[in-house]
Amino acid sequence: MIHLKQPLALASAKGGSNAAGAPLFAAAACCGVQRRAAGGGSGSGRRGGRGVGRAATPRISCSTIEEAGGVSAVTVDRTLTVTATVTVQPPIGVMYAARGLDDLGDLFGKTLLLELVSSSLDPRTGMEKERISAFAHRTMKEGKYVAELTVPATFGPVGAVLVENEHHKEMFIKDIRLVTGADDSSAVTFDCNSWVHSKFDNPERRVFFTVKSYLPSSTPKGISALRKKELETLRGDGRGERKFFDRVYDYDVYNDLGDPDYRIEHLRPVVGGDDLPYPRRCRTGRPRSEIDRRTEKRRGPVYVPRDEQFSEVKGMTFSATTLRSGLHAVLPALEPLLANQELRFPHFPAIDSLYSVGIPLPAQLNAAASAAAATTGVVGGVIPRVVRMIEDTTDHVLRFEVPEMLERDRFSWFRDEEFARQVLAGVNPVCIQLLTEFPIVSKLAPEVYGPPESALTKEVLEGQMVEAVTVEEAMAQRRLFILDYHDVFLPYVHRVRELPETTLYASRTVFFLTQAGTLAPLAIELTRPQSPTLPQWKQAFVHGADATSSWLWKLAKAHVVTHDTGYHQLVSHWLRTHCCVEPYIIAANRQLSRMHPVYRLLHPHFRYTMEINALARESLINADGIIEESFWPGRYAVELSSVAYATTWRFDAEALPEDLVRRGLAVRREDDGEIELTIKDYPYANDGLLVWGSIKQWASDYVYFYYKSDEDVAGDEEVQAWWEEVRTKGHADKKDEPWWPAIDTRDGLVGVLTTIMWVTSGHHAAVNFGQYHYGGYFPNRPTTMRKTMPVEDNREEDTKKFMARPEEVLLDTLPSQMQAIKVMATLDILSSHSPDEEYMGEYAEPAWLAEPMVKAAFEKFGGRMKEIEGTVDERNNNPELRNRCGAGIVPYELLKPFSKPGVTGRGIPNSISI
């Protein structure tokens, strides 16, 4: 918004000599000026007129400051000269001058056409005022374009700027700064940070709204129609293939993961719909496969709306040099190193040597890496570790960084207490539940899967209790917990076992909460369901007091952590954060104006998510992608996450307190509604609740500033349309669920916004940035199991080998060398913070800074996040908190708010961007 608090000295009023070299627009502006000048000068009051225009001709004779609709406005006669400076971000590593035709265009002044839109209507006609246009010139300062616009003094506040890019290439406009006359204090900045398409690609002009936020009902009348029109543009017409410069947000099902045109084995079911419910993704409109008409062709880069794409720094860091070229080029090039792709590690020292000796690289790979480094040298400092390791190598070997867990304690992965600790403070702390029903019984059909009774009986559990209590007493004291991967995996056991080199069980693990506040695993149950040819097999494993049962226990633990790794990656991480958030983003862009306060609150939390999800569809979760190749669910990976979505996902339980209550890890006190943790030292929950509380306070301050009553929320047509679309289009397969919260009060809106902001920040950080710390040493978190338990079939050969060399059986069971290396490289990349990461409470949006109350609330939010930083450190140094402090333990820093770039195991970015 241009706030003309007082009339400013006119630098020039020579409308006809507009130096932009655009006589048509200059003449139009001049005519407009003349018309308005003739009718001007009648403003009453002289508050703003002091000393103005004395040195300029013509002088302003009078002016009026009006406060209308919260906008300060000035009415003066005659004209003002407004200088508009457009800041364009030059592409990284490219000489800005080298742009051929566009440079010629710049020389002749055909650069950017700017058009100012008044916030107010013409009082005489009740119509929009005539817009004021001028071309911007390129200046000697790199990335700066300047226009001079002659604006009638009666124009009022500028509510929007339209931009037409006359170049043949798109331009990234950072901001547009308007200054009236020579007084820099009058400057008003339109925050753009957006790609503006070439008019040759799309003749429609881009609109940038004022930095001031407006609810729909208080939109200044002069830009009300533009507000609606812009949303129509963003919604598109749902037809045709999207082009890279488009900004259209629309929905589609996941029908682009398979590639039957390439290979029929790469056909995958469509996910999203009645058969396999799923959130929706961004529509790309690519043509359908010839082989399967339900499947979209996979060709070229995947469309995401232009402004959702990574910045060039992030692109260099993540996509360009790593996932796209890195994983696509580097990892396949490693394959010839291993003649046998299924080769296992010969012994544990060979795994350790990945961090010390490394893997010899083929010469051509080294050359390719060097070439890649040369082309990306401009941002050499931000290339992630895996690629940099290859680039830096002088001895032609790839060496992995020692993961934090291994660095601190080489043996912790083998111990029960670490196994249990990680369900509370590891990378998947969101699955442990209170045991509430006993005896444990499967809910699946016995006629299909066999007897439903669990092998984890009272006798088995009580035989392992570390304190003298019965199961009933322990349950009454809320001290028994379960990691339950039984009913969700049992239907997949036989199908997964048909995949090459892969096996699966359904599993349950029961833990006991000790007096020390730590968990002790009591027993593990592994189950193979019956099949037409096999009976059901299940067995309970306990640590035991002899070598054989101890080794079987270790093997059973390896199976459980593999189940946990798969569930973590597909459900806790991919589904619950990346995948479920995409519909909120699509709906927000389609239904909330850029000047809506809720859009501006959520915008930082949506940064880069659509792009990273597109990359995941391209390279991670696609048919034969890294997840299918290296994780045990193989081709059933996405299908399995769909089952989890159908059976367990609900929006209201994504709120951290509700999630804890639902899992029995907390209870809500009746007197004050506060929640109380069942396990006092539960690092994810302890730190998470601090972060949650801080976000909620910020959301509440924000919402209560913009909405003065609950009716304002209920009557906000854009917010209601957004939420309606999230439910009915983005999460269409769950649209009829009764648990969707209504947004009809301010507190209701605060609840929804807090949940979304928590999922994109705290939840994602907790399950994402520790992946290399814990999974970088793959025996701690294997991604697949290749052999069944030696006691399942009791084959003589298996038994003999197990009794002779149990370590060999464990190595046979763990992932192959190739699977391990690929996963380690992938986790390294996925655990990495980009140099342009934005952390919670760190950067204020320009719109927040423009409102003193909002600015103050945000500053308080930032202060709270800094306090949390200190609290986390204190907790990690408290020896009473044994789940995060102790000999060789990795401190719990995943919810520590800030971080430097790289793999740090800490830092809560605003959004899901990796």
Task: Catalog residues that contact Fe ion under the rule CB under 5 A.
Answer: 768
User: Least Å distance between CB 612 and Fe ion?
Assistant: 7
Of the pair 482, 759, the CB lying nearest Fe ion is at 759
Q: DSSP letters along 308-328, please?
A: GSPPHHHIIIIIIIIIIIIII
Single-letter amino acid code for the residue at 606: F
Closer to Fe ion by Cβ: residue 591 or 768? 768
Cα–Cα dist 691/656, whole Å = 10
Q: What is the helix, strand, coil percentage profile of the chain, to 5?
A: 45, 15, 40
Helix (H) or strand (E) holding 114: strand 112-118
> Nearer Cβ to Fe ion, position 323 or 331?
323
Q: Closest Cα to residue 826, out of 633, 615, 654?
A: 615
Q: Using DSSP, state whether 229 is helix, strand or coil.
A: helix
- Is 833 annotated as catalytic? no
* Shortest separation between residue 80's beta carbon and Fe ion, angstroms: 50
Helix (DSSP H) and strand (DSSP E) numbers for the chain: 33, 21
- 573 carries an active-site annotation: yes
Q: Within its chain, how far is the Cα of 110 from the centroid? A: 39
Question: 768 vs 784, which CB is nearer to Fe ion?
Answer: 768
CB of 732 to Fe ion, least distance (A): 24
452 contacts: CB under 8 Å, gap ≥ 6: 441, 442, 443, 444, 446
Please answer whether residues 412 and 418 qualify as being in contact, where contact means their C-beta atoms are separated by less than 8 angstroms: yes
State the minimum distance, in angstroms, from the CB of residue 768 to Fe ion: 4
In three-state secondary structure terms, 148 is strand
In the complex with Fe ion, which residue's Cβ is closer, 81 or 768?
768
Q: How far is the CB of 767 from Fe ion (least distance, A)?
A: 8
Kindly state the DSSP code that residue 191 receives in the 8-state scheme: E
Residue 236 Cβ vs Fe ion, minimum distance, rounded to whole Å = 28
Q: Residue 37 or residue 615: which is nearer to Fe ion going by CB?
A: 615
In the residue annotation, 756 being an active-site residue is answered as: no
Q: What string of DSSP letters covers 339-376?
A: SSTTPPPSSHHHHHHHHHT-EEPPHHHHHHHHHHHHHT
Query: Would you give the DSSP letter of residue 303?
Result: P
Among 769, 791, 809, 786, smallest CA distance to 907 is for 769
Q: What is the nearest approach in angstroms of Fe ion to the Cβ of residue 871?
A: 25
Which of 637, 809 has the CB closer to Fe ion?
637
Least Cβ distance, residue 89 to Fe ion (angstroms): 26
Is the Cβ of residue 102 or residue 893 nearer to Fe ion in the bound state?
Answer: 893
Q: Smallest distance from the beta carbon of 619 to Fe ion, in angstroms? A: 13
Q: Which residues share a beta bridge with 398?
A: 359
Q: Please give the biggest Cα pair distance in the chain.
A: 105
CB of 573 to Fe ion, least distance (A): 6
Angle between the 637-648 and 547-567 helix axes, to the nearest 10 degrees? 80
Q: In the annotation, is 578 catalytic?
A: yes
Query: What is the Cα–Cα distance from 705 to 532, expressed in whole angstroms?
Result: 64
- Closest residue to Fe ion, judged by C-beta, is 768
Q: What is the token pair recorded at 236? A: 């598109």
768 assigned to active site: yes
454 vs 768, beta carbon nearer Fe ion: 768
Q: Which among 503, 520, 501, 502 is positioned nearest to 511, based on CA atoms?
A: 520
Among 768, 780, 876, 910, the active-site one is: 768
520/465 Cα distance (integer angstroms): 9
Choice among 137, 578, 596, 605 that is catalytic: 578
Q: Which is nearer to Fe ion, 830 or 865 (CB)?
A: 830
List the catalytic residue out of 486, 573, 596, 833.
573
Which candidate in 763, 764, 773, 833 is catalytic? 764
Q: In whole angstroms, give the CA distance from residue 467 to residue 521.
A: 13
Catalytic residue among 2, 60, 756, 914: 914
Report how far residue 380's alpha carbon sits from residue 403's, in angstroms, rounded to the nearest whole number.
23
Q: Would you call 151 helix, strand, or coil by DSSP?
A: strand
Catalytic residues: 573, 578, 764, 768, 914
